[in-house]
């Protein structure tokens, strides 16, 4: 078997990432050697592979669904937004420069198609099947000429395409029909059918519409996946305007101790790797909330300043919002604060940045004895160490180089009192360390909170991935899906007018 499939979507956030992961987990449980692939990913949530390459977090999660180690081949192009109009381009795991959207789509993207197809071919030579994820919608007709992630990769590699639609948003039938009808005949010939995502209610009420859709397009629906809470793992979106009020889903189990712990995460601009807090949200009795107003820090037992692609911009934002003063008051009162990566850097004394913001010398919040200088070379490592008497694993993705001038060593950073700073992402996924850290936070906050002794973040992640596999196995036509992966799109699929505009 040397199969493949492209999971496209009618829109961004239609569920492509989780559907791809679900198909991967279903296949690996059938004994298939499978790998994920996304030609081009735009995300501020990234991960470092064991060979020191930076890829999207979603592809790392999908690799885990496949039970294989993630590699740079699985996400050859990663775009990390630095604002509304420019992104850092990461090619095969290494940054190659900043580029505006116009410059990227004006020629650079087309030149990357060869690299993308070579990466996919190398994966297909090593695995029985490769399940590819598209981006946005394949019917973005303004970008089709330079497309390397949707129909461009499907046509270049001869992949059948399954289009996912989020029925919870409404308009799914129009979205399915319109997606096909806006594609060129050569692209339409690869679109095998549809998958409905996030359905609530009685499927029998949906079936007449699916039959009509088949009559209109000549394409079948491969499954209707029910709505399930808590499946949005390792999200890609790092450019939300405001996350105020958003609460990470916590475990259903009640707290072990008498109190809960409230964690406030500052929703800084260009926030990166906010998946760091997922391990906290998985703890019974820990409530994680994103905030953007100083009054929302008042009842928090722990404040986290997360990573960001714009450290200086985040620092300005904290000051403009009054959050910087609120954090400083907490530190003066001995109340817990944790800075991660960019959040660690801005807690320091000053920053020299001629790389990211090009702002030169900028005064930090002065809450940790640290000075930061931005280097052109990006640090990409998978460190292992010890903190609070526990083994810790993490990963580092940063241009800022920290000079620690005092305090107590904490991972690669430091702590002063109950203020901690580190460049290590993912450290809270280490169960023993997370529990030790939460015990310290609870003691400092005066909370009678007790970490659950048996919580395993890795096991919870595996359970989530198995739930995704169950969704595919129980609610998709897996026999038809298998034939699609193995044999490609059915022949004779009809053209749906008008097709792509000239």
How confident is the prediction along the chain (502 residues), in pLDDT tens digits per residue? 789 999 999 999 899 999 999 999 999 999 999 999 999 999 999 999 999 999 999 999 999 999 999 999 999 999 998 876 788 999 999 998 887 766 666 666 767 899 999 999 999 999 999 999 999 999 999 989 889 999 999 999 999 999 999 999 999 999 999 999 999 999 999 999 999 999 999 999 999 999 999 999 999 999 999 998 766 565 554 333 333 345 555 555 788 888 999 999 999 999 999 889 999 988 999 999 999 999 999 999 999 999 999 999 999 999 999 999 999 999 999 999 999 999 999 999 999 999 888 899 999 999 999 999 999 999 999 999 999 999 999 999 999 999 999 999 999 999 999 999 999 999 999 999 999 999 999 999 999 999 999 899 999 999 999 999 999 999 999 999 999 999 999 999 999 999 998 7
CATH class of the 261-451 domain in this structure: alpha beta
Candidates 398, 399, 425, 475; catalytic one:
425
Candidates 66, 132, 266, 341; catalytic one:
341
Take residue 373 and report the two structure tokens written for it. 């200088």
CATH superfamily of domain region 3-232+462-487 = P-loop containing nucleotide triphosphate hydrolases (3.40.50.300)
Say what the pTM is.
Answer: 0.92
Take residue 163 and report the two structure tokens written for it. 């289009």
Angle, helices 16-29 vs 478-487, to 10°: value is: 90
Q: Which of 395, 375, 400 is nearest to 385 (CA)?
A: 395
Known active-site residue 341: yes
Known active-site residue 425: yes
Q: Which of 296, 294, 304, 398 is nearest to 351 (CA)?
A: 398
Residues 297/299/300/303 CA torsion (nearest 10 deg): 20
Topology alike, domains 3-232+462-487 and 261-451: yes
Q: Where are the domains of the chain?
A: 3-232+462-487, 261-451
Take residue 445 and report the two structure tokens written for it. 């906050």
Q: Decide: 400 and 355 in contact? Cβ < 8 Å.
A: no
Q: Which helix (H) or strand (E) holds 326?
A: helix 323-332
CA 183 from chain centre, in angstroms, equals: 28
Alpha-carbon gap, residue 358 to 343, rounded angstroms: 18
């Amino acid at each position: 078997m040397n199969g493949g499939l492209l999971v496209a979507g009618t829109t961004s956030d239609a569920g492509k990432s989780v559907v791809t992961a679900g198909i991967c987990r279903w296949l690996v449980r059938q004994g298939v050697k499978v790998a994920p692939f996304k030609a081009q990913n735009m995300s501020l949530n990234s991960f470092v592979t064991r060979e020191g390459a930076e890829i999207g977090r979603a592809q790392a999660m999908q690799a885990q669904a496949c039970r294989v180690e993630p590699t740079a081949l699985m996400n050859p192009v990663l775009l990390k937004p630095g604002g509304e109009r420019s992104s850092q381009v990461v090619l095969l795991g290494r940054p190659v420069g900043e580029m505006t959207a116009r410059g990227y789509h004006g020629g650079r993207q087309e030149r990357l198609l060869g690299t993308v197809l070579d990466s996919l071919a190398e994966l297909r030579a090593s695995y029985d099947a490769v399940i590819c994820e598209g981006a946005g919608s394949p019917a973005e007709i303004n970008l089709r000429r330079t497309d390397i992630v949707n129909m461009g990769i499907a046509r270049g590699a001869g992949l059948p395409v399954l289009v996912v639609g989020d029925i919870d948003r409404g308009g799914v039938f129009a979205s399915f029909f319109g997606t096909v009808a806006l594609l060129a005949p050569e692209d339409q010939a690869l679109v095998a059918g549809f998958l409905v995502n996030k359905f609530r209610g009685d499927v029998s009420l949906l079936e007449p519409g699916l039959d009509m859709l088949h009559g209109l397009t000549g394409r079948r629906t491969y499954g209707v996946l029910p709505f399930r809470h808590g499946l949005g793992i390792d999200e890609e979106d790092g450019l939300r305007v405001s996350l105020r009020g958003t609460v990470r889903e916590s475990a259903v189990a009640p707290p072990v101790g008498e109190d809960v712990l409230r964690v406030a995460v500052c929703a800084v601009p260009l926030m990166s790797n906010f998946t760091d807090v997922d391990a906290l949200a998985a703890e019974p009795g820990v409530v994680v909330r994103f905030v953007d107003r100083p009054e929302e820090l008042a009842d928090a037992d722990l404040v986290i300043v997360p990573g960001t692609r714009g450290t200086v911009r985040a620092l300005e934002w904290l000051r403009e919002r009054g959050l910087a003063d609120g954090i400083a008051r907490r530190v003066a009162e001995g109340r817990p604060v944790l800075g991660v990566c960019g959040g660690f850097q801005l807690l320091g004394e000053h920053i020299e940045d001629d790389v990211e913001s090009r702002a030169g010398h900028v005064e930090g919040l002065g809450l940790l004895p640290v000075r930061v200088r931005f280097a052109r070379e990006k640090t990409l490592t998978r460190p292992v160490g010890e903190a609070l008497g526990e083994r810790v694993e993490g990963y580092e993705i940063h241009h800022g180089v920290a000079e620690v001038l005092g305090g107590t060593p904490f991972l690669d950073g430091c702590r002063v009192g109950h203020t901690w700073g580190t460049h290590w992402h993912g450290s809270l996924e280490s169960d023993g360390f997370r529990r030790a850290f939460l015990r310290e936070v609870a003691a400092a906050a005066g909370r009678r909170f007790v970490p659950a002794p048996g919580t395993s973040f890795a096991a919870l992640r595996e359970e989530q991935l198995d739930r995704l596999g169950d969704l595919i196995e129980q609610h998709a036509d897996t026999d038809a899906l298998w034939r699609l992966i193995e044999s490609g799109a059915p022949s004779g699929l009809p053209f749906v007018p008008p097709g792509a505009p000239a």
